[in-house]
Structure 1
């Protein structure tokens, strides 16, 4: 975990940095000021250079694959996750096809161009659907939050895996009902993308990207699965993928338990909006993955950094 620069350290009065997130006594500096209690607050990581941020992003992308494997989301050679390169933002890092999610290392990652998805660094092949979807999403959306020329609708990372409940839910032609607190994070931020067969070229990648709005967290690829979006970090995109799978499971269980004549109790809209603001921010997406990052770092014993 990169340590903040001395000036930032003084500004934030950082008193400790754990393996996966720093915290501070300067409560006002934290995006979690209103949802945490105590003498300290969690803050986002900062970096001494763009090169240091690149290392962090690549290592966390490797950890994300390992976390997704532990959830049982690795299916054959399907699935791809990527993160934009902060040093060269017209490039992104993605997994080689066929490499075990459970054994992913930062050095295994392949660098591709945003413009057309072509490989610029690395020898192993990449899934054509990965280069097509990811390149065109990065190209269409531009840079994400806090980046030079970036915006809230920009994209810094993407995750797509074939998880079972989401895959089943993708065939229902609908978005999540607001039947749980967790589902509120996705309120009005779920794009529905009609199925058009396998993705093998940039034209199809651009079609998928055209359905995804600047505030959408996920795109439900109908008859296929889920594409989750990180406006800030790869950790965020991974959490929306995991969290949506949990919500899809709860939705399917609730649907199956509904008796004739019964109706769901839905949350009220203002409560939904308040909850989304509390648990649905990009920063919260990053933070929600932190416990899994800590656990996977322990399992990895540093192998993901090789």
Structure 2
């Protein structure tokens, strides 16, 4: 029996911890803010999430907490999550069973995009086409993601086709079917946002893909065999080579 044999969802915990660690490598994190969560039951209401006040660089598989979105006593627990994590992730997991993995960050380029009057990401290249017809912009920021604000955000994500919430004046939230899916999409969104912002900085006209080509490319991304899984596998291999403690 292994040291962690009594901890449920161990493989998923390891994947999620690896995503936290690589987010630091990519400088997509912010202080001890931002949160990733992963549903652990079919209804999506039980989920893993990072502990309150823990830097992404120190997250381990065993340090992730498991909470129930339908348990009102959660915030009375000694290991209660951050209040905005409970608000945003709890609201989405409670309402949307299809939202299996959520990743919310205030990464630089996603937040620059979220600060523009028009925060939509147009399909100007192959990467940005991944999000064509699969993004929604929240243009009604009303403060931190406590219960009321979070419930409004969850309502914007009811269409299962939507994978990306561009949170105006705030940041971005990505939905995935698992850790690999969500993290791959998160990294591609940040790269696509950077490309778009740099393109705008040239002051030159943009070459925007037609809707037909953008949708075709988005579907090709969705059907690309095991790409996200390979990406996460390699991240874990690189972390293992460094002797990182994420899998503890």
**Secondary structure of the residue that 1:295 maps to in structure 2?**
helix
Residues in 1 aligned to 2:24 and 2:13: alpha-carbon distance in whole angstroms: 17
The Cα of 1:53 is off from its aligned counterpart by 7.7
1:116–1:135: 8 Å Cα contact kept in structure 2? no
Report what 2:208 is aligned to: 266
The Cα of 1:238 is off from its aligned counterpart by 1.5
Pairing partner for 1:190 from 127, 135, 138: 135
The Cα of 1:52 is off from its aligned counterpart by 9.0
In the alignment, structure 1 residue 103 sits paired with structure 2 residue 49: no
The Cα of 1:71 is off from its aligned counterpart by 0.6
Q: 1:269 and 1:288, CA in 2 relative to 1: closer, same or farther beyond 3 A?
A: farther
The Cα of 1:122 is off from its aligned counterpart by 7.3
**Secondary structure of the residue that 1:115 maps to in structure 2?**
coil
TM-score where L is the length of structure 2:
0.87
2:15–2:232: 8 Å Cα contact kept in structure 1? no
Q: Which has the higher contact order (CA 8 A, sep 6+)?
A: 2
Pairing partner for 2:108 from 164, 179, 189: 164
Residues in 2 aligned to 1:81 and 1:101: alpha-carbon distance in whole angstroms: 10
Pairing partner for 1:181 from 122, 126, 144: 126
Report what 2:32 is aligned to: 77
The Cα of 1:116 is off from its aligned counterpart by 4.9
Deviates more, 1:112-121 or 1:66-75: 112-121
- Deviation per CA, 1:92-128: give whole Å up to 9, x if none: 1100122121121111111111225753997434211
Pairing partner for 1:215 from 161, 164, 169: 161
The Cα of 1:304 is off from its aligned counterpart by 1.8
In the alignment, structure 1 residue 241 sits paired with structure 2 residue 183: no
Q: 1:190 and 1:117, CA in 2 relative to 1: closer, same or farther beyond 3 A?
A: farther
Q: 1:120 and 1:235, CA in 2 relative to 1: closer, same or farther beyond 3 A?
A: farther
Pairing partner for 1:278 from 220, 224, 232: 220
TM-score where L is the length of structure 1:
0.71
Q: 1:254 and 1:274, CA in 2 relative to 1: closer, same or farther beyond 3 A?
A: same
1:185–1:275: 8 Å Cα contact kept in structure 2? yes
The Cα of 1:186 is off from its aligned counterpart by 0.2
2:44–2:93: 8 Å Cα contact kept in structure 1? no
Higher CA-based Rg: 1
Residues in 1 aligned to 2:49 and 2:9: alpha-carbon distance in whole angstroms: 13
Residues in 2 aligned to 1:120 and 1:132: alpha-carbon distance in whole angstroms: 10
**Ranges in structure 2 where 5+ consecutive residues have no aligned partner:** 1-5
What's the RMSD between the two structures over aligned residues?
2.4
Residues in 2 aligned to 1:267 and 1:101: alpha-carbon distance in whole angstroms: 36
Report what 1:37 is aligned to: none
1:63–1:297: 8 Å Cα contact kept in structure 2? no
Q: 1:295 and 1:190, CA in 2 relative to 1: closer, same or farther beyond 3 A?
A: same
The count of residues paired between Structure 1 and Structure 2 equals: 239
